[in-house]
Homo-oligomer: A and B are copies of this chain.
Amino acid sequence: MSSLPVPREPLRRVAVTGGTHGNEMCGIYLIRHWLQAPGELKRPSFSAMPVLANPAATAACRRYMDRDLNRTFTLTFLGSTDTPNGPYEVTRAQELNQLLGPKGTDQAFDFILDLHNTTANTGVCLISEASHSSFNLHLCRYLQLQNPGLPCRLFQYDISGKETYSVESVSKDGICLEMGPQPQGVLRADLFSQMRNLVASILDFIELFNQGMAFPAFEMDIYRNLGSVDFPRTADGDLIGTVHPQLQDHDFEPLRPGEPIFKLFSGEDVLYEGNSIVYPVFINEAAYYEKHVAFLKSERIRVSVPALPGLTSSSTLAP
């Protein structure tokens, strides 16, 4: 993985976004809190900017108003002609692109940390594009070392051949922090506190990097997306079953060929017919029913992550 790019300058323009989905409450209330009290986001070399990404959906306590904002940061949407009656999220993506981008330009923010919750039992999960992963793998490793009791996994998706679309794709580097399980529209104090602590650790990591610290090579297991599995449905699209109790809540645990994945309303079990062990993630996430996703399959792979070299002093001393 040594060919992956890593930042060669301090990350000074950092944003923390929450409420990208308007019913994922930890990020929403953290951002609202930080907008009033931004001190927690300050570090000696930078101050992260809190951004409530989707205010209309947040006010309505819905994932989105017209379309999923976190699928809207493509050049097609970002460059579309602004019409007053167009989808709200297209307009909002363009506003965020002006604030944090423009995407793909030197003016773009250095790093966006986007905060999410899921109804799935993922624990702490960092989601990273493969192209971002070397820096992000060090970040994940740092969180693991800082929080030895807290499972903190990295889920990597490969966008190669397709255009990136997430809010953090607007910045030069970025990552998504997912935490679950938490129902939509509910703010759990335990997850709120954990997310707050993890954001602090992530900002600390960026600060250490900015100060010139080098991070040694290491090996770690990551989970690489292999695609999705839909619920069992009728030809008309109606569900005829749901996630099997033996799979429910078992995110990141091995699923072997022949093990049950769905329980039909008729009582029958549907078994996993793959040829090898996979690691299901985002099992029974509420927002994914409409996307025809009952869970994502991933493979667990061991990666050797090269050292992250320290910035040269000329970089770290730059104003």
A residues touching B (Cβ–Cβ < 8 Å)?
A: 29, 32-33, 61-62, 119, 181-190, 192-193, 238-239, 241-245, 248, 263, 265, 284-287, 289-290
A–B complex contacts, Cβ < 8 Å, 18 sampled = A29-B239, A29-B265, A182-B183, A184-B185, A184-B286, A185-B286, A186-B284, A187-B239, A187-B242, A187-B243, A188-B242, A188-B245, A189-B241, A189-B245, A189-B248, A190-B248, A192-B242, A192-B265
Whether B284 lies near A188 (C-beta < 8 A) is yes
A290: chain B residues at CB < 8 Å are: 61
If A32-B238, A184-B185, A186-B284 are given as contacts, then 19 extra A-B residue pairs at C-beta distance below 8 Å, sorted by A number, are A29-B242, A61-B289, A119-B185, A181-B183, A183-B183, A183-B184, A184-B184, A185-B286, A186-B285, A187-B239, A188-B242, A188-B248, A188-B284, A189-B241, A189-B243, A189-B244, A190-B245, A192-B265, A193-B263
The answer on a CB contact under 8 Å between B188 and A287 is no
Q: Which residues of B contact A62 (CB under 8 A)?
A: 62
Assuming the A-B contacts A188-B248, A248-B188, are A183 and B286 also in contact, with contact meaning beta carbons closer than 8 angstroms in the complex? yes
Query: Nearest chain-B residue to A192 (Cβ)?
Result: B242
Residues of chain B within 8 A of A286, CB atoms compared: 183-186
Residue from A183, A184, A238, A290 having most chain B Cβ neighbours under 10 A: A183
A183 contacts across to B, CB distance below 8 A:
119, 181-184, 186, 286
Residues in B with CB closer than 8 Å to A241 are 189
Nearest Cβ distance between residue A240 and chain B, in whole angstroms? 9
Q: Are A242 and B184 in touch, CB under 8 angstroms?
A: no
> Chain B contacts of A187 at CB under 8 A?
239, 242-243, 284
**CA–CA, A62 and B60, complex, Å:** 11
A153: min CB distance to chain B, Å: 21
Q: How far is the CA of A193 from the CA of B243 in the complex (A)?
A: 12
A33 touches B188 (CB 8 A): no
